[in-house]
Every structure is written in structure tokens, then in C-alpha cells.
Amino acid sequence: MDKIVRDVRVERYYPSVVAPSDEFKTLAGIENPEYKVLWEHLWRRFANTFVYEIDEVGAARWEDVLRMIRGDNLPLETRRQRILARINAMTPYSIRAFRSMLDAMFGAGVALPSEVFAKYELWLDIARAHIFRANEARRFARVIVPANLTVNISSMVAVTENLYFAGYVARKKITVIDSGGDISYNVPGAQLGFAGMVKRTKHIVIRSE
């Protein structure tokens, strides 16, 4: 939330007949700083109604309203987390409602929830630029989501790249010479004769790597 700044100058509201008067100019010089201080107090009081804009005074006020133990010795950011956790302690009824809580806490799209109910898992996908807030997001989710869901963190980025495939063809020739099962031993005139069979096969192996 942007701070609303006011340049308080009471002489703008003087009637034209008295505005040139030295006395009224002196009076304005005295009152203007006081009005500026008053405006700062009013603005700070207004800003403290929003948890994301609170200071120490605002944190103490929220802790009192929510009946929490005062965290005066804690860092302001930690106190803010505790207050938000108490406000958001009601379990959301849907992922959409929980996503709205995350957007309000960390910014739109910084932490995107998704569920894997079959494994009782809740995943928070943290934007790469905000990955340093992963533990913070996990703590925030832990006090809100059901206790039987484990809270996991991921940080996925869509990348477009060229995908190449390569392969080679290997050709092998295998020659097998077996003796036939029907060998006949015909010995005409004291000569020994043998008969056999030659088989030729080709094996082609294609591999891809």
C-alpha cells in the first residue's frame, strides 16, 4: 500500500484579506509542522489496521485484539506471521481459497498450491525469483492445511529447448556350419565320404542411445 502524503499548509485556507498579514504567516509557520506530525499519526493509525503495513504499535494492537501472547522481543516480520496465522487459522474449504491466502501473503503467483490427495501431499510451487521464501511459505501453510498432509516445496520453470536423437545401425553376418543329422557313410571302393549342410543367416541389430 502506498503511503498517502499531505503537504499541510494552513495558509491556503486563509481568507484573502488576512493571508498577506505577517501575523498570520507566522501563525501558519508554527501550525504547519504540528499538523504534519498529526497527519503522520493519523496515517500510521490507519495503516496499522492492515496486517501487512503494521509497525510495533500495530502489532501489539493486533495481538491484544486476537488475545495472543505479546511478542515484544520478536522481529516485526515474525509477529506479522503469527498474527496472519491466527487470522487464517480456519482451514480453507478448497485449494482455490488457499491460493487466495497465499496470493495475499506473498504476492500473486509467488506460491502456487497443488494437491496429491492419494499420497496425502500438498505441493507449493515457489517462483524462482522468490525461492528464498520457501521456508516462510512452508511455515505459513503448515498452520492452515490439514495436519495429515505433508507440505512439500518445488520450483518448476518451463524451458523450451531443442531435442535431438541419434542412433546407428550395426550389420553382422554369421555363418554357421553344422553337420547334418542324416550323414551317410557310403564307402565305395575303400573311400570314405562325408556330407554336410551350410546355413547362412543375417542378423541386423538397431540400437538407439
Helices 76-87 and 134-142: angle between axes, nearest 10 degrees: 40
Q: Is 190 inside any structural domain?
A: yes
pLDDT bin (cut points 50, 70, 90) of residue 195 is: low
Residue with cell string 523450451: 160
Q: What DSSP element (H or E) covers 151?
A: strand 150-154
Which of 6-20, 82-96, 172-186 reaches the highest mean pLDDT? 6-20
Do 148 and 177 lie in a common domain?
no
Q: Is 68 inside any structural domain?
A: no
Q: Is 75 inside any structural domain?
A: no
Do 107 and 150 lie in a common domain?
yes
Mean pLDDT of 62-88: 85
| Residue 152 confidence (pLDDT) | 92
What's the predicted TM-score (pTM) here? 0.39
Q: Report the alpha-carbon distance of residue 139 to residue 77 in Å, rounded.
A: 13
Q: Is 133 inside any structural domain?
A: yes
| Residue 156 pLDDT > 80 | yes
Average pLDDT for the chain: 81
CA angle 191, 192, 194 (to 5 degrees): 140
Longest CA span, the chain: 156
Domain membership of residue 118 as a residue range: 91-154
| Residue 189 confidence (pLDDT) | 54
Q: Is 137 inside any structural domain?
A: yes
Pairwise pLDDT comparison (121 vs 2), residue with the higher score: 121
Do 136 and 179 lie in a common domain?
no
Q: Is 111 inside any structural domain?
A: yes
Helices 76-87 and 56-65: angle between axes, nearest 10 degrees: 30
Domain total in the chain:
2
pLDDT bin (cut points 50, 70, 90) of residue 198 is: low
| Beta-carbon contacts of residue 8 (< 8 Å; ≥ 6 apart) | 32, 35, 36, 39
Q: Is 129 inside any structural domain?
A: yes
Q: Report the alpha-carbon distance of residue 124 to residue 114 in Å, rounded.
A: 7
Cell, residue 61: 494492537
Do 134 and 171 lie in a common domain?
no
Residue with cell string 565305395: 188
Cell, residue 91: 482451514
**Burial zone of 141 (CB within 10 Å; 0-12 exposed, 13-18 middle, 19+ buried):** buried
